[in-house]
Amino acid sequence: MSPGEDGLIGIPFPEHSSELLSRLNAQRHSGLLCDLTLTSRGTSYQTHRAVMAAVSRYFRRVFGGHEGPRVLQLDCVEPEALASLLEFAYTATLTVRSSGMRELLSAATLLGIECVAEACREILGETGPNQLESDVGEVEDELNKFGDEEEEKEVCFEESERTLTGSACQSPEEIYEGIQRIQDVNTPSSGGFLSNGNSKWMLDSISINKSKDTSLKGGESVPHEQIGQSLQVAVPSGGSGRKRKSQMPQQCPVCQKIIHGAGKLPRHMRTHTGEKPFQCTACGVRFTRNDKLKIHMRRHTGERPYHCTMCSARFLHSYDLKNHLSLHSGARPFECPLCHKAFAREDHLTRHRKGHGCLELRSRRTRRGMEPGHGEGFEVVFEHEPGTKIEDLSPRSRPGPECREGAEFETRGKIEAGVKLESVHETGATLKHRTNLGAEKYQRIRLQPGARAGLQRELETGAQLEYETRFEPNIELEGGCRVRVGHECNDGLEPAENFKDRLVHEIGLKARDAYKFEAGVKPRGDNGINFEAGLGARSACKPAARFVFSSGTGLELQDEPKVRLQTQTGPKARLGSGPILRETPKDGLRFEPRLGGMSELSVLLPAAQTQCPEMLYRAMKEPMAKKQDGEEGSSQMGNGSVMMCTSKQREEAVEEDV
């Protein structure tokens, strides 16, 4: 909008009308601000004149121009029909039993609620005025004789029953001029009857098939469930009435929600009307649904039909037992994707995530003593035998500093749901990780029950200590799999600048990642990690940490290899501040980008088609090839971002980052 242009802005609130109606209905049920009492054969209904005048031509007539009466006795209208019309007025939905359709049509016609009358006619298969309406018309015709009394604000009269014969219907406007049979009572009687007892609107005789036997009592609403053969007729407000027989699915006229299931709409409508027709005979508590009352009654009878087989606990609800059983199993299948806290119940996870209890990224960590949970993923748990010296362990399987020697510690991995692993170890299998570091020490990998995984870790030692994480040949990983490994690495790093956090591998098809310590090299030595992966690795680093990437020894350097280490995570992704490239033919290539302020470092190794894949490939391939003859999987690398570039390009890149 240009300055000075005073345009109108229309902001729609589509829920407003339904909310307004819903609140009015709630007021009606609670009696709040009700200024009109309608009575019919001893049954009284509190309502609002404004609402009734809005839906009914008759009431508009009655209340138009003057305040009108506070109590209207409408004995000519069936109580049930009157209740249905009131329900329609406040919910835009008709609920009426089919046997009462004619009474409803009669009432709607008399009261000038044309859309309802049309809906009734459609349901009854009548297109034009039928005998009933003719009768009604004649009654109204008779009543029109009183049209001259319109100026009379209060008309008290008494009529004897009359037999009516058919004649043409008159227009509602004409009709209502004559039906000023109103008595204004300033103070509504508690019983809902007129103070002038002889005032009566005698139209009973026009009712066809009228049931004289009504069980309704004063002020009592009719539970929908108690209306046999009922029909729900959704009548769009403001338009011509349109019947819609109950069928699946139905749309709620108030909240527009689609309700599935036959006969479920009346149940749903009570959520808007607040109607609670089912009352506990013991304590008086009311319910909207019969089945809820039934469950409630168990509280009085002491019935707890759901027994826990593992303890003496008994429950009212099946789902309570289900929740309870999770306590026994210890299963916590609902895990926060951010902080990895696990919950036994999904709603607790939802609450956790909605709240602010999950603001930080934490390492996965299981609860002590907790059996691995079930689920589509699996967890890898390293168990070290007592007596194992922690310093002898591979850095990546080493526990955090908080772990004592010989204490249980864990690294955990997970393959995301949906990943299929074909080459599997048997469920519950224990895989030994052998190390040959003097004493008999080994690690075990325990696959959780139910898991099918081909992930295998091996630790070997000797002249060459190799710690390898690899996937078995022929394992088919559907793309997008992620393996998260608890990780600590201080190789080649100064102690104060270690980074230790998770290492996340983005794994492609038939991918392999391996961490290898070169022959003769101490795992914690200077040479750092040989890092081969047909996948990307992302390591979260502490700010200002140094990440050392070394190609390892034995590398046949090509002429002037140029390598750029690229960070790729987050909006602040950038190169380390002045990556240092040192060519050390003896030790291999060594990259030491300083990651000042970087929260994450992404190391994505080159794909096979990069300019100089051979460099990295050969560094890793040969020792692997000795073990896996001809396996081509090791050469499959993911998308690379360790790019080969010229010296000039590298300088430019550094300048860009600076």
Partner DNA sequence: CTGGGGAAGGGGCCC
Partner DNA sequence: GGGGCCCCTTCCCCA
CB closer to DNA out of 190 and 312: 312
Q: Shortest distance, CB of residue 346 to DNA, whole angstroms?
A: 5
- The site string for DNA over 183-222 (x = CB under 7 A, - otherwise) reads ----------------------------------------
Q: Shortest distance, CB of residue 129 to DNA, whole angstroms?
A: 27
Told to check if 366 binds DNA by CB under 7 A, we report no
Neighbouring CB atoms inside 10 A of 230's CB total: 21
Q: In what order do the strands lie in the sheet with 71-73?
A: 43-47, 36-40, 71-73
Told to check if 124 binds DNA by CB under 7 A, we report no
Q: Shortest distance, CB of residue 282 to DNA, whole angstroms?
A: 13
CB closer to DNA out of 355 and 386: 355
- Residue of 48, 1, 49, 15 lying closest to 29 (CA atoms): 48
Told to check if 644 binds DNA by CB under 7 A, we report no
CB closer to DNA out of 53 and 259: 259
Task: Select the span of 189-197, 201-209, 338-346, 590-598 touching DNA (CB under 7 A).
Answer: 338-346
| Of the residues 242, 300, 307, 317, which one makes contact with DNA according to CB under 7 A | 317
109 burial via Cβ count (<10 Å: 0-12, 13-18, 19+):
buried
- Residue of 578, 523, 512 lying closest to 550 (CA atoms): 523
Evaluate whether 480 touches 435 at the Cβ level (below 8 Å).
no
**Would residue 214 be called left, alpha or beta, if left means φ above 0 and alpha means ψ between -120 and 50 degrees?**
beta
| Of the residues 17, 211, 229, 329, which one makes contact with DNA according to CB under 7 A | 229
Longest dimension (CA), the chain: 120
Place of tokens 């015709």: 141
CB closer to DNA out of 379 and 518: 379
- DSSP string for residues in 435-486: EEESEEEEEEEEEPTT----EEEEEE-SSS-EEEEEEPTT----TTEEEEE-
d(CA 29, CA 103): 24
Told to check if 318 binds DNA by CB under 7 A, we report yes
**Which residues contact residue 6 at a Cβ distance below 8 angstroms, ignoring those fewer than 6 apart?**
none
Peptide bond preceding 249 in cis form (omega within 30 of 0) = yes
131 burial via Cβ count (<10 Å: 0-12, 13-18, 19+):
exposed
CB closer to DNA out of 91 and 641: 91
CB closer to DNA out of 9 and 417: 417
Neighbouring CB atoms inside 10 A of 110's CB total: 27
Integer distance in angstroms from the first to the last C-alpha of the chain? Answer: 43
Backbone phi, psi, residue 576, to 5°:
-60, 155
| Of the residues 167, 196, 214, 323, which one makes contact with DNA according to CB under 7 A | 323
Q: Shortest distance, CB of residue 82 to DNA, whole angstroms?
A: 19
- The site string for DNA over 346-365 (x = CB under 7 A, - otherwise) reads xxx-xxx--xxxx-------
Told to check if 171 binds DNA by CB under 7 A, we report no
Task: Select the span of 103-111, 139-147, 251-259, 524-532 touching DNA (CB under 7 A).
Answer: 251-259
Told to check if 331 binds DNA by CB under 7 A, we report no
Task: Select the span of 140-148, 198-206, 282-290, 509-517 touching DNA (CB under 7 A).
Answer: 282-290
Task: Select the span of 342-350, 436-444, 478-486, 642-650 touching DNA (CB under 7 A).
Answer: 342-350
Q: Shortest distance, CB of residue 247 to DNA, whole angstroms?
A: 5
Told to check if 302 binds DNA by CB under 7 A, we report no
Told to check if 284 binds DNA by CB under 7 A, we report no
Contacts with DNA by CB under 7 A lie at: 224-225, 227-232, 245-247, 257-264, 266-268, 270-271, 287-292, 294-296, 299, 313, 315-320, 322-324, 326-327, 341, 343-348, 350-352, 355-358
